[in-house]
């Protein structure tokens, strides 16, 4: 009789490339089925973790395919992520100009 080896939280975190806390969170919300041993330690079936990993990689590859491409998307992303710095620079330049001119 062959006995299936169950994975630990650390094994799953290494397999998925996430932290151990993320693995526990995924288990608590039911995303990855986990099994308690003695009411304390979680164990996981390797097949279920591999199935979750496969599903996640499939979803992430679809998300990459749906991203807009081209210069317009890159410019939009630039302004979206750097708007604070751009507005701060404009404000500093305007303030410097007003101080130089003597208000």
For the stretch 51-97, pLDDT in tens is 998 888 877 666 556 666 788 888 888 998 999 999 999 999 999 99
- Within a domain: residue 3? no
Residue 8: other Cβ atoms inside 10 A: 15
- Within a domain: residue 4? no
User: Can you give the residue range of the structural domain that contains 58?
Assistant: 9-101
- Within a domain: residue 19? yes
Task: Work out the average pLDDT over 30-44.
Answer: 83
Q: What is the pTM of this model?
A: 0.54
Tally of domains within the chain: 1
- Within a domain: residue 2? no
Please report the pLDDT score of residue 64 as a whole number: 54
CA pair distance 61, 71, nearest whole angstrom: 21
């Amino acid at each position: 009789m062959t006995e299936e080896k169950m994975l630990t939280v650390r094994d799953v975190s290494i397999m998925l490339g996430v932290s151990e806390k993320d693995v526990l969170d995924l288990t608590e919300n039911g995303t990855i089925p986990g099994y308690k041993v003695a009411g304390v330690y979680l164990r996981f079936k390797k097949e279920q973790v591999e199935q979750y990993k496969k599903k996640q990689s499939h979803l992430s590859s679809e998300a990459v395919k749906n991203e807009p491409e081209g210069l317009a998307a890159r410019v939009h992303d630039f302004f979206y992520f750097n708007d604070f710095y751009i507005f701060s620079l404009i404000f500093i330049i305007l303030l410097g100009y007003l101080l130089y001119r003597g208000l």
